[in-house]
Each structure stands twice: as C-alpha cells, then as structure tokens.
Amino acid sequence: MSLHSSVGSAEHSSFMTSYLDALSLVERLHRLLLDVIKDEFERVGILEINAVQALLLFNIGDNEVTAGELKTRGYYQGSNVSYNLKKLVEAGYMHHQRCEIDRRSVRVRLTPRGREIREIVERLFLRHAEGLEASGAIDRDGFDRITHSLRRVERFWTDQIRYIY
C-alpha cells in the first residue's frame, strides 16, 4: 500500500467518524428537544398532549395545511401524521375540514386551544434562545453556521432520496 492511499484512507476514516458523530448528535438533540417540551408541559400541568403533537402545533402556527403538506413543508417528519392529527382534532386543538376541490383531502388549522399550546412552546423556545445568548453558549453567528451546514446535509439527503433510485 502506498503512503498516499493510507493517508487518503485515514482522512476517509476521520471524515466517517465525524459524520457518524454528527448523525448521533442530531438524533440525540431531537430526542432531547422532545423531552424538554414534555417536561415543560408537565410543569404547566398539561398532560393530554405529547411533545410530538405540541411541536406539530407549533410548526403549523397560523397556517392551514393538508396532511401531505405537513411533510413537504417540513412541519412533520414522522410516519404517523394521520394518527397525531386525528388525536389533535379529537382533543379540540385543531379544526379539520374537507377540501372543496379534492374531497379526499382534509385541511387542518389550529383552534384557539391549539394556539394556546403553540404559545407555550414559543415561550419555551424564547426562554431557551435568551438563555443561550445570555450565557454565551452560542451566538447568532454560531447558529447561522450550524443551520447552513445542516441545510446542506438536508439537501444532500433529499437528493439521495429523489435521484438514487
């Protein structure tokens, strides 16, 4: 084996290690985010909604969307979107209405009760943003760099799904 190929192999191995560390961190951060939201709802005494549902309400905000749009707009990544929408409608957090044009499609939007949940999550995120900034843990520039890098990974993965098969 030549010196060049062993150096290349070491660089590849190092990149792979970094990639796997980043993947693991993204997964842990998502789970931790859900735990943080769950803890906040337990703290304020709201137990009938789970963290995934609360995050879904936060992401929908003032929009009116179909279940399909939730994924295409990036509001929801899970496979059980219909289940969560049904539960949110049953619990009074969302309105649903059949589309006039396509009767198979249902449009959803937040009820006043759903907007209250969204505001709780928004206040939680605002407290965290202020705390991160005040503590100096990360600044705006740091978040901009992270977001830019994550968007590039997202674009790469999206292209893999679209074009690999």
pLDDT in tens, 16-72: 999 999 999 999 999 999 999 999 999 999 999 999 999 999 999 999 988 778 877
Confidence of residue 10 (pLDDT cuts 50, 70, 90): confident
Tell me if 76 sits within 8 A of 59, measured CB to CB.
yes
Report which residue type is found at 50. Answer: N
Which domains occur in the chain, in start order? 48-160 (1.10.10.10)
Q: How many CA atoms lie within 13 A of 22 on its CB side?
A: 11
Alpha helices in 44-139 (DSSP H): 51-60, 67-72, 81-90, 112-135
Q: List pLDDT tens digits, range 110-162.
A: 999 999 999 999 999 999 999 999 999 999 999 999 999 999 999 998 888 87
Q: Is 4 a residue whose pLDDT tops 60? A: no
Structure-block tokens of residue 97: 């209405």
Please, what is the average pLDDT of the chain?
88
Q: pTM score, two decimals? A: 0.83
Q: Report strand pairing: 65-66 vs 94-98.
A: unpaired
